[in-house]
Amino acid sequence: NAGVTQTPKFQVLKTGQSMTLQCAQDMNHNSMYWYRQDPGMGLRLIYYSASEGTTDKGEVPNGYNVSRLNKREFSLRLESAAPSQTSVYFCASSEVQGRINQPQHFGDGTRLSIL
Amino acid sequence: AQSVTQPDIHITVSEGASLELRCNYSYGATPYLFWYVQSPGQGLQLLLKYFSGDTLVQGIKGFEAEFKRSQSSFNLRKPSVHWSDAAEYFCAVGADTGFQKLVFGTGTRLLVSP
């Protein structure tokens, strides 16, 4: 099925370890996003990429870096994981058609625990 | 900057009863509005969207929402709830930009009682 694929689905890290979360979409969308979801806080935007070759900070970028590897792939890296980064991470993608912003499509998430 | 408020953290509805989930937004221009649903352990699925035009929009799974500019609201409704509707529901507002940054509400968890 077409959509947004995130790997891994689950991960446990120790404080200070590094990790890269992978995201790939096969819908030929220009824009991609990384969110984190925490209880009672909804989804908060970490970073986004409006198009291939560009990335920008969202609401909560501290402690993260991103790479838009190509049009399909957008990775999120934790250089030195901290317990506060324990969360569920979602990748999403979207497209503009006829100047209308189309809804974002979401992956199933990566559940990350940092001990 | 845009913002979204979902005032109800939890709502319990009997199966077969009607449902209304509240969403209020803050945005200076015409917003793009969305409702997403999230089942446990899953990602977010789009229920419906409002971009312009008819203020009553129909979505999947029998849901509808009404955009009321005067009240800055975009409430989600369903006439008869099914047990499978139990999930978390998120309202989101997007700015009219080329790539659509979304701001999400904190979500409303729907419980369906038999």
Residues B40-88 have pLDDT tens digits of: 888 899 999 998 888 899 999 999 999 999 999 999 999 999 999 999 9
> CA angle B36-B39-B40, nearest 5°?
135
> What number is the average pLDDT over the span A60-74?
95
pLDDT band, residue B32 (cuts 50/70/90):
confident
**In chain B, pLDDT over 90 holds for what percent of residues?**
70
- Asked if the Cβ–Cβ distance from A94 to B99 is below 8 Å, we say yes
Give yes or no for a contact between B55 and B66, defined as CB atoms under 8 angstroms apart.
Answer: yes
Amino acid A42: pLDDT: 87
Contact in structure between A114 and A81 (CB atoms under 8 Å) = yes
User: Considering chain B, what percentage of its residues have pLDDT values greater than 70?
Assistant: 96
Res A44: pLDDT = 93
Q: Are A4 and A23 spatial neighbours (Cβ–Cβ below 8 Å)?
A: yes
State the nearest Cα–Cα gap between A109 and chain B, in angstroms.
Answer: 6
Average pLDDT, chain A: 92
Q: Nearest-CA distance from B55 to chain A in Å? A: 17
CA distance B35 to B33: 7
Mean pLDDT of B23-50: 90
B81: amino acid identity, one letter: V
Mean pLDDT across the stretch A53-76? 94
Of the candidates B66, B112, B100, which has an alpha carbon nearest to the alpha carbon of residue A97? B100
Cross-chain CB nearest to B43 (options A31, A51, A109) = A109
Count of beta carbons in the 10 Å neighbourhood of residue A109 = 23
pLDDT at A96: 74
Q: Which residues of B touch A36 (CB under 8 A)?
A: none
What local confidence, expressed as pLDDT, does residue A100 receive?
66
Kindly tell me if the per-residue pLDDT of B98 is higher than 60.
no
The residue of chain A with its CA nearest to that of B31 is A101
Task: Pick the residue of A33, A36, A100, A104 with the most B CBs within 10 A to test the interface with B by mutation.
Answer: A104
Give the pLDDT band of residue B31 (cuts 50, 70, 90): confident
Give per-residue pLDDT as tens, A11-21: 999 999 999 99
Which helix (DSSP H) or strand (DSSP E) does residue B2 occupy? none
pLDDT at A47: 95
Output DSSP code: residue A16: T
- The whole-number pLDDT of residue B96 equals 61
User: How many Cβ atoms sit within 10 Å of the Cβ of residue A46?
Assistant: 23
Nearest C-alpha in A relative to B1:
A59
Inter-chain residue contact A51 with B106, CB threshold 8 Å? no
* Rounded average pLDDT over A62-90: 96
Chain B: closest CA distance from residue A11 (Å):
14
Q: Tokens 């689950």 sit at which residue?
A: A10
CA distance A55 to chain B (A): 12
